[in-house]
Amino acid sequence: MTATRDVAIVGGGAVGLLLACLLAQRGIDVVVLERRTEPGRASRAFGIHPPGLAALDAAGVGAAVRAEALPIRAGSVLSGGRRIASLDFARPVHALPQLRTETILRERLAALAPAALRVGAEVVALRQHAEGVELRLAAGGCVGARWAVGADGVHGRVRRLLGIAVQRRRGAAGYAMADVDDRTGLGAAALLHLEAGGIVESFPLPDGRRRWVARLAEPAQAVSAERLQRILHERLGGTSALPAPLPGGTEPSAFLARQRLAARFASGRVALAGDAAHEVSPIGGQGMSLGWLDALALERALAAAATNGAATNGVARAAAPFAAYELERRPAAVRAMRRAAWNMAMGAPASPPALAARLALARVLALPPARSAMVAAFTMRGL
């Protein structure tokens, strides 16, 4: 086994990288074990909510993200081409593709701890003992650490190795999305089209791009560009919001939005963070920022444990900071799932009477006193 590190993080995505940066800043010896050798390039999260941006500030990369991101300061609900309601965000949501955000975090970690990130390091087994954790790698050898964090995503192995079950929560639906050049002239506003066939969401991205997301009648493993274009025309045809034809070579992403919660967020000296702990529907865009708030809480817990000398007092004492972490973060994940489930219900296919009721509710929620609560929900306050 290699020399024991303070913390081993399994997973080099947005959450694992942020946590590593936070710990490295404190002088904590951290290693990040990432099974991939190259970053994933599929369209993923892009919304950085104000609490998430504060977490990036804490890691020293907030300014770099702001320099490249597109601030979204307003959002509108439309139906049949008519504006139903609008909200303004005093603290904007910043749009930046996750791949670019992860690149900025990776560069920051390289500056703080040049050897911290190990790619091609797939964890296949885990053993805890009184003084720490041993992580066995597929390529051979082990990594030892006083504590470990599983930030390896929805399908990550750490949670399974710990024997932690997942609980299904309300909210599941299929969606398709594509990022294309923005030729709509809609500006830097987020638009939510509530239509009988299901919601169509439209979000501005940096570099003159726009993301289109459409609710599907039934979940699908793949959706062609032609099918997504047909859905957009069926729901938005005759309105100024209709995008130009999707260019040739466009490959939409189809995904199932669902919600699952780990039965526990920690076991002994190992904690779960981000999607490994809570799979939150991306509708509403809160999953990545929610994971960053996990990272902030874990930084506090691990720094306190290191200061208090918990590393040499056995598994029970070492678990104490993770117990406090779970008490803080589990309720936040549940609140985020409730918000996401509500968002999905509002965007489901609807009969004319049901759609009329939703539009009436949207109008009411955009007026005082409900307006401030809706702005808080969309910008992730309270999580």
CA angle in degrees (0–180, nearest 5) for 38-40-45: 145
188-208 mean pLDDT: 94
pLDDT class for 315, splitting at 50, 70, 90? very low
Cβ-based neighbours of 318, under 8 Å, separated by 6 or more:
146, 147, 268, 269, 305, 310, 311
Give residue 376's Cα distance to chain centre.
18
276-292 mean pLDDT: 87
Encode the chain in three state secondary structure: CCCCEEEEEECCCHHHHHHHHHHHHCCCCEEEEECCCCCCCCCCCCEECHHHHHHHHHCCCHHHHHHHCEEEEEEEEEECCEEEEEEEEEEEEEECCHHHHHHHHHHHHHHHCCCCEEECCCEEEEEEECCEEEEEECCCCEEEEEEEEECCCCCCHHHHHHCCCEEEEEEEEEEEEEEEECCCCCCCCEEEECCCCCCEEEEEECCCEEEEEEECCCCCCCCCHHHHHHHHHHHHCCCCCCCCCCCCCCCCEEEEEEEEEECCCEECCEEECHHHCEECCCCCCCHHHHHHHHHHHHHHHHHHHHHHCHHHCHHHHHHHHHHHHHHHHHHHHHHHHHHHHHHHHHCCCCCHHHHHHHHHHHHHHCCCCHHHHHHHHHCCCCC
198-219 mean pLDDT: 93
Share of the chain above pLDDT 70, in %: 93
Q: What is the pLDDT of residue 240?
A: 64
pLDDT class for 79, splitting at 50, 70, 90? very high
CA 262 – CA 284 distance, rounded (Å): 21
pLDDT class for 310, splitting at 50, 70, 90? very low
Give residue 157's Cα distance to chain centre.
18
Q: At what angle do helices 314-346 and 352-365 cross, to 10 degrees?
A: 120
pLDDT class for 318, splitting at 50, 70, 90? very low
Residue 67 has pLDDT above 60, yes or no: yes
284-307 mean pLDDT: 90
CA 337 – CA 169 distance, rounded (Å): 8
CA 78 – CA 244 distance, rounded (Å): 19
Give per-residue pLDDT as tens, 247-282: 777 889 999 999 999 999 999 999 999 999 999 987
pLDDT class for 379, splitting at 50, 70, 90? confident
196-217 mean pLDDT: 94
Residue 311 has pLDDT above 60, yes or no: no
pLDDT class for 309, splitting at 50, 70, 90? low
42-64 mean pLDDT: 91
Q: Name the most confidently modeled range: 148-152, 226-230, 249-253.
A: 148-152
CA 42 – CA 280 distance, rounded (Å): 18
Give per-residue pLDDT as tens, 15-35: 999 999 999 999 999 999 999
313-331 mean pLDDT: 74
In terms of Cβ atoms closer than 10 Å to its own Cβ (0-12, 13-18, 19+), residue 358 is buried
Average pLDDT along the chain: 91
pLDDT class for 83, splitting at 50, 70, 90? very high
Q: Cα separations (Å) of 291 from 18, 102, 107, 276, 362?
A: 9, 13, 20, 9, 29
Residue 71 CB: number of other CB atoms within 10 A? Answer: 15
155-178 mean pLDDT: 94
Residue 46 has pLDDT above 50, yes or no: yes
- Decide: 162 and 322 in contact? Cβ < 8 Å: no
CA 71 – CA 276 distance, rounded (Å): 28
Six-digit token string for 188: 């830097």
156-176 mean pLDDT: 94
Q: For the chain, list the domains and their CATH numbers.
A: 5-72+97-168+258-346 (3.50.50.60), 171-256+349-378 (3.30.70.2450)
Residue 354 CB: number of other CB atoms within 10 A? Answer: 12
Cis amide leading into 92 (omega within 30):
no
125-143 mean pLDDT: 94
> Tell me, what amino acid is at 133?
V
